[in-house]
Amino acid sequence: MTDKKINFKIKRQDKPGLPSYWQNFQVPYKPFANIISCLMEIQRNPTTKAGITVAPVTWDCNCLEEVCGSCTMVINGKVRQACTALVDNLEQPIALEPMSKFPVVRDLQVNRSRMFENLKKVKAWIDIDGSHDIGEGAIMPDSDRAKRYVMSECMTCGCCLEACPQFSLNNSFMGAATFNQVRLFNLHPAGSMNKEERLDAVMGEGGITDCGNAQVCVEVCPKNIPLTESIADIGRQTSWQFIKNLLVK
Amino acid sequence: MIKPAKDEIHYILLKLHSLTGIVPVGAFLVIHLSINSLRTVGVWPFQLAIDALNNLPFLILIEIGFIYIPLLFHSLMGFYIIHVGKTNMFRYRYQRNWLYTMQRLTGAITFLFLIYHMGTTVGAKLWEGKHQFEAAPFLIDILNGEFQTWQGILVYTIGIFSATFHFSNGVWGFCVSWGILIGKNAQRNGAIVFAAMGIGLTFLGLATVLEFNMNPIPVEATVAG
């Protein structure tokens, strides 16, 4: 047994709207520990470094293999998933904060429903069922399939939005994740039937024109989605749509 | 005519901001620096160019319609854009994020520089009522004086650098926003081309400053005949 410890500095908040505060924790060192396993340790023994017993730290997690996005938080100043943040690779004390661009529910839990609302606004789906049989879908070229596969890996974690200088708690910017979904579904032969509705939805306040091309989104995306390509492509699609609206409608 | 919705206005205003940065504001910058660089060849070609411009028909309307209004629109929208974003370049240290902040900073600096620059040149010209052939000797006299102090040279160097940086990085931003450069490679290659263009424009501007500093030659008004 080793008595090596892992030091944590955790930003806590008891309820939405209440002020946040920092607490220090120490957990026994285990090789290959990730942030989630350390948080579980704190949950079992919620005592601060100073020896005061406090309410356990709350957090969200689910898949533990970086595909669900629910454990996204700010670790040592950078947004990422807690499950794949290995303690051995982090500088101590490890600072854990909830994402700053979403309303805090409690401690490290945030409410990301804004992302889901945006997906609804842009109709990030393909209509297949009607009251009648609409037949088989059109064939998709394999090159499009390959492009769409990468884009479809988005897990709505919110990293791209947390790191975006244009996205904030009090504006309506949709952000990279949403624009990527517009491109994903517009590229689908059946999805393209609702192309114009999706483009119209991103051609207003908070839409594609509010992107500042800081391109941090693509740097922090854990799934390596070519978000800036998606943004530029939606820029092209909306530009044509605008000219079309101007001349045709 | 159908009244446009709030969202449509937002889209149009931001697209126009992007477009006015290229034409006419950016195009004006390129023409301005190019014509000014005639000064490095000699003071006569420079005076000839100023004479030609100051004898354009409807000059004040051209200036208001193609320079002042688009420039003011681009600036006001620019300050709105600065207000909307919040830089995080020290937290997320990536090159593009740094350029994002620089784009906003140089835009604001260029705006301040233009207030000074227009005040000492075109503002003074209009105030003193120096038109047509009288403009060139008047302006050249002012510029000869401005470039004799290190403060003057510093202000112009910062102003020229801010303007050329803002323009060349802005052309890149335009190409991405309008979906002209989409792929990662295309965006990177475009950035290299526009950076080269920016360096060229900066060189033109600074060479002109240096020429004015070294050879402050006064001129007489051209006599039309």
Chain A within 8 Å of B91 (Cβ-Cβ)?
yes
Token pair in block for residue B113: 């520089």
Nearest to A204 among B11, B94, B96 (CB): B11
Query: Tokens 């919705």 — which residue?
Result: B5
Domain ranges of chain A: 5-110, 113-247
At residue A155, the pLDDT reads 97
CA of B51 to nearest chain A CA: how many angstroms apart? 40
At residue B103, the pLDDT reads 98
Domain ranges of chain B: 8-214
User: Which whole-number Å values give the CA distances from B171 to B25, B82, B128, B157, B187, in the listed order?
Assistant: 11, 18, 36, 21, 11
CA of A58 to nearest chain B CA: how many angstroms apart? 25
At residue B174, the pLDDT reads 98
Chain B environment of A168 (Cβ under 8 Å): 86
CA of A216 to nearest chain B CA: how many angstroms apart? 6
Token pair in block for residue B74: 């681009």
Instruction: Identify the segments of chain B with pLDDT beneath 70.
Output: 1-3, 225
At residue A130, the pLDDT reads 77
At residue B225, the pLDDT reads 67
**Pairing, β A5-12 against β A94-97:** parallel
* pLDDT tens, residue order, chain A (249 aa): 568 999 999 999 999 999 999 999 999 999 999 999 999 999 999 999 999 999 999 999 999 999 999 999 999 999 999 999 999 999 999 999 999 999 999 999 999 999 999 999 999 999 877 788 877 888 999 999 999 999 999 999 999 999 999 999 999 999 999 999 999 999 999 999 999 999 999 999 999 999 999 999 999 999 999 999 999 999 999 999 999 999 998
> For the range B107-112, what are the long-range contacts, defined as Cβ-Cβ under 8 Å and sequence gap of 24 or more?
B107/B75, B107/B78, B107/B82, B107/B162, B107/B166, B108/B78, B108/B79, B108/B82, B109/B158, B109/B159, B109/B162, B110/B159, B110/B162, B110/B163, B110/B166, B111/B75, B111/B78, B111/B79
Write down the H helix ranges in B63-149.
Answer: 69-84, 95-118, 124-128, 135-146
Phi-psi map region of A18: left, alpha, beta (phi>0 left; psi -120 to 50 alpha): beta
CA–CA separation, B188 vs A163, rounded Å? 21
At residue A157, the pLDDT reads 97
At residue A249, the pLDDT reads 82
pTM: 0.94
- Domain covering A5-110, topology: Ubiquitin-like (UB roll) (3.10.20)
Residues counted in chain B: 225
Q: For A113-247, CATH number?
A: 1.10.1060.10
Q: For B8-214, CATH number?
A: 1.20.1300.10
At residue A2, the pLDDT reads 61
For the stretch B165-216, pLDDT in tens is 999 999 999 999 999 999 999 999 999 999 999 999 999 999 999 999 999 9
CA–CA separation, A200 vs A40, rounded Å? 45
Closest CA to B136 of B29, B44, B209: B44
Give the list of residues 6+ apart from residue A36 with CB closer than 8 angstroms, or none: A59, A61, A64, A71, A82, A83
Chain A within 8 Å of B79 (Cβ-Cβ)?
no
CA–CA separation, A13 vs A4, rounded Å? 28
